[in-house]
Structure 1
Amino acid sequence: MRRRLLREINATVHGADLHLERYDRPPGDPGLFGASSVVWRVHEHPAGMLVGGFAALMLQSLHPVAMRAVAEHSDFRTDPTGRLHRTARFVSTTTLGSSAAAEAAIAEVRRIHRFVRGFDAAGRPYRADDPELLCWVHTAEVSCFLLGHQVFAGRGRLSGDECDAYLAQVVLIGELLGADGIPGSRAALAEYLARVRGELRSGPESLEVVALLRGFGRTRRERLAVRILTNAAVGLLPGWARTELGIRRSWAVRRLWDRPQARLLGAVMVWACGLSPIRAAAHARANAGARTAG
């Protein structure tokens, strides 16, 4: 049962091919962060990452320029599963993958971004490799990953200093992608979000993203799991974001129904993902040098 659940989770999130060659070699390579980093600790928690990831997609959709670029250049409508797989692979590769694999994944995204250009609703030009736009996408994503971890990790919650360390460490990925001005602490994050709040608003594409996420799934069981996780993701969003997206779920429903359901599902996922071949390969690679030296 445990292995079957793990296969289903991996197939849903990563696709049929896990590309373990990105994680299992060369021996002793720590990757961009290393096995003892706070980044590995946060990104290895499946429930926190999935709930945080869904919240991030909703929050990111409130940036009109970012959403315009996605609407005009992404296949999220025609191939939502493929879009999810590519996003999950990028996050796992840049976090747990070898240094070469992480750098190759980042280089590929930068190559694609060079061709993503257009005009916003006001007729102003935009480009996906704009440093400020990249800062928004990165910051919205990692802030939701961190919040997802803090809500669903139980006793594995980070201390305040560890939260700051996480934000400081993941700045590296944003900077390698070309972002500028990335907040590297909780204080800087709060200041950044307050500063960009006036630029954020929903539009037809934002509402479409929310509807697509909440209805995602190829099977009845997958749709049920995604609905539980996306309901919990709604609870991670600030109140103004829920209002912008037209989501009306009371505090009682979010805290007393959505979150307990997601915690139960998350516990099952953590139990199943204890056998994750990606995690096993990454730890074996990163720890190989230490074993040899010992």
Structure 2
Amino acid sequence: MSGDVGLFGPGSVTWRLHQEPILLLGGLRSLYLQALHPRAVTAVAQNSRYRADPWGRLTRTSAYVGTVIWGTTAEAEAAALRVRRMHARMRAVDPRTGEPFRIDEPGLLRWVHVAEVESFLTTAVRAGVRLTPAEIDGYYTEQLKAAELMGLDPATVPATADEVSAYYDETLPSLALSRDGVETALFLTVPSVPENWGGRAFRLGLTLGPTRWAYFGVAATAMAMLPPWARRLYGGLGLPTTDLTADLSARGLRFLLSTVLATIPRSLQVTPIREAALARAAAAAVL
């Protein structure tokens, strides 16, 4: 529908926030955070080919998030239905207890949702995006729509900053760094290079050269931006100045991204699905 601006729309905090390229860093932070939930990370490890196809999984996840944020209502609902149907067929086995479980358990879905939206928001704010407390709460409340798409009862999902903080406090006793968590975190920090990215010399250069070190710096920033309790679960990573240096790094990265993007054509700055959303919003405003 030409006038359908989707789940959120041009006046939403969500649209304002998700135009920020720095949210890519927030996505990486959320993966480090999600890996601290033993069942959640086991579900991924036993059902995903992320080690064999990490960039494909990243592309698919980014496409899903983009569709929920910028797509029409019908597009967002269709994308979520496909994911729910896929998850409904998947099972995993808890290596600690031997207990089989569904990967679409509400508790697991809620953890992934909260870790993701809190990481997006926290990363943006610490990188310099200015939001009032009311706007921060507004983002969490708006994201209840995304949680509902994944099959969660919105009444069970934290909808304000205080509720997110309380949720983390309640969940902390069940978090731990499991073997799957260690392997996932190591993979996030030193991911493999796709075989189709040129020849052996190119892959070797990417593995050992400046690009690898640049990515490692981004990964280190994402890890440093975790809450202190999460860093402690990873072994107490970071000095007392970690939060300050992480904020400076995130702000510098945001400035770098905005500078680089300003030099390239708009067609490369804005994804097609976001461009279509902006066009629908403009048409709706005229009507």
Q: Is the 8 A contact 1:216 1:223 kept in 2?
A: no
Distance 2:242 2:165 in 1: 26
1:241 is aligned to: 230
Distance 2:141 2:49 in 1: 32
Deviates more, 1:159-168 or 1:266-275: 266-275
Alpha-carbon shift at residue 270 of structure 1 (Å): 2.5
Alpha-carbon shift at residue 119 of structure 1 (Å): 2.1
Matched, 1:224 2:213: yes
Deviates more, 1:273-282 or 1:168-177: 273-282
Structure 2 counterpart of 1:93, from 57, 60, 67: 67
* CA displacement, residues 116-138 of structure 1 (integer Å, 9 cap, x when unaligned): 11321212231122112111110
Q: Count matched residues.
A: 263
Deviates more, 1:276-285 or 1:49-58: 276-285
Structure 1 counterpart of 2:258, from 263, 270, 279: 270
2:84 is aligned to: 110
TM-score, scaled to structure 2: 0.85
How much is the aligned-residue C-alpha RMSD, in angstroms? 1.9
Alpha-carbon shift at residue 94 of structure 1 (Å): 0.5
Runs of 4+ in 1 over 4 A off after TM superposition: none
Distance 1:270 1:116 in 2: 40
Matched, 1:176 2:145: no
Alpha-carbon shift at residue 287 of structure 1 (Å): 1.8
Deviates more, 1:216-225 or 1:54-63: 216-225
User: Counterparts in 2 of 1:13-92, with a 5 A limit?
Assistant: 26-47=1-22, 49-92=23-66
Alpha-carbon shift at residue 186 of structure 1 (Å): 1.0
Structure 1 counterpart of 2:282, from 281, 287, 290: 287
DSSP-derived class of the 1:46 partner: coil
Paired residue type of 1:71: A
- Percent identity between the two aligned chains: 37
* CA displacement, residues 228-283 of structure 1 (integer Å, 9 cap, x when unaligned): 22222122212221122236221335523x44333223222224446323233321
